[in-house]
Amino acid sequence: MRKPATYTDKASLFQTAAKGVHHRQAPAEQPTQIGRALKELDIEWIAAHSPQAKGRVERFFGTAQDRLVKGLRKVGASNREEANRYLEQVYLPMWKRRFAREAEQAGDAHRTLDGRLDLNSVLSRVEVRTVAQDYTVRWAGAAYQIRRTDIGGGMRGKQVEIEQRLDQTMWMRWKQRRLQLDRCGRTETQLSSCLDSAPGGTETGRGRTTTASTASTGSLQRSLSTRAGATSVAGSAQLNGYYMDGRRGRSAFPCTPSPKAKPKSPKRKFLLG
């Protein structure tokens, strides 16, 4: 059920001062996470402007923070189920009996939830990121890979919205779709088993085909073990079918280190007698 509107004060949880509005790439609207969720749920946000209205909101918060916290402590609620049981069976009936006033218009104004809405997506933290040339996005210092089956045209270099959901999974919003992302973070042992189980050890992309042999697997493992500070590697070009993009020998899959280039032989100079 959704209510038509919510009435709060002008806290920074609901709105923030626009930042960087002079920049040409600055978005027209810069809502907070709560403001974005209210907009996606089609719930109007009404801010209190007058001192009387602000005081009413503050008094409500003071009552809830005082009475509710003490009531939960009194009944010994230690988990979400016990807290919700106290809220529905004790606190809310007491609140309505002592403080509620009858509305001018009778009836329930709540609306049914739209079946097309995904609450897991709405009730998440959403940030804007840019898709790199290797189909990855960065979040909190980690790289997340778009699955090969979800890659579409025009993704590279685009700004997209990334969701961090309550279960800590990462998703990307792309053209009315929600694409789950995989973190680049597999161990060396898992990577070796993935390479060994790859069908035929063959990758194909843009007309190029390479074969993953035992020697390439060993060199890959050696490069993993020698990387300073590298603790894990997720996926491989042989497993996911990414091609070599030709940029200084870097793989199009960032979680796989590129093979070491062969050192060039020094040029020999011949002196004529």
Task: Summarize pLDDT for 70-114 with one digit per residue, the tens.
Answer: 999 999 999 999 999 999 999 999 888 888 888 888 888 888 888
Tell me phi and psi for residue 178, to 5 degrees.
-120, 115
Same domain membership, residue 166 and residue 134: yes
In a domain, 92, yes or no: yes
In a domain, 255, yes or no: yes
User: Does residue 63 fall inside a structural domain?
Assistant: yes
pLDDT of residue 246: 39
Identify the pLDDT of residue 209. 38
Q: In 10 A of CB 86, how many CB atoms?
A: 18
Residue-level pLDDT at 237: 38
CA distance 152 to 131: 12
State whether 174 and 239 are in the same domain.
Answer: no
Backbone Cα Rg of the chain: 28
The answer on 220 and 175 residing in a single domain is no
Alpha carbon distance 58, 33 (integer Å): 22
CA within 13 Å, CB half, 163 = 21
> Is 241 found in the same domain as 192?
yes
Residue 172 and residue 196 in one domain: no
Q: Give the range of the structural domain holding residue 168, as residue numbers without chain letter.
A: 119-183
Same domain, 178 and 209: no
Burial of 131 (0-12, 13-18, 19+ CB in 10 A): buried
Written as six digits, the tokens of 215 are: 């020697």
Mapping DSSP to helix (H, G, I), strand (E, B) and coil, where does residue 212 land? coil
CA separation, residue 244 to residues 131, 210, 257, 263 (Å): 18, 9, 12, 20
> What's the pLDDT score for residue 47?
86
- The domain boundary, picked from 183, 200, 230, lies at 183
Instruction: Let me know whether 134 and 51 are in one domain.
Output: no
- Both 80 and 44 in a single domain? yes
Residue 212: the pLDDT is 39
Whether 179 is in a domain gets the answer yes
- So what's the pLDDT on residue 201? 40
- Are 195 and 248 contained in the same domain? yes
pLDDT, position 248: 41
Structural domain count, the chain: 3
Residues 27, 87 share a domain = yes
Query: What sections of the chain are H helices per DSSP?
Result: 33-40, 51-63, 69-75, 80-86, 92-99, 119-122, 188-197, 214-226, 237-240
**Is there a single domain that holds both residue 177 and residue 195?**
no
Q: Which of 183, 202, 218 is the last residue of a domain?
A: 183
Segments of the chain with pLDDT less than 50: 187-218, 220, 224, 226-251, 273
Give the CB-side neighbour count of residue 94, counting CA atoms within 13 A. 11
Is there a domain that residue 106 lies in? no
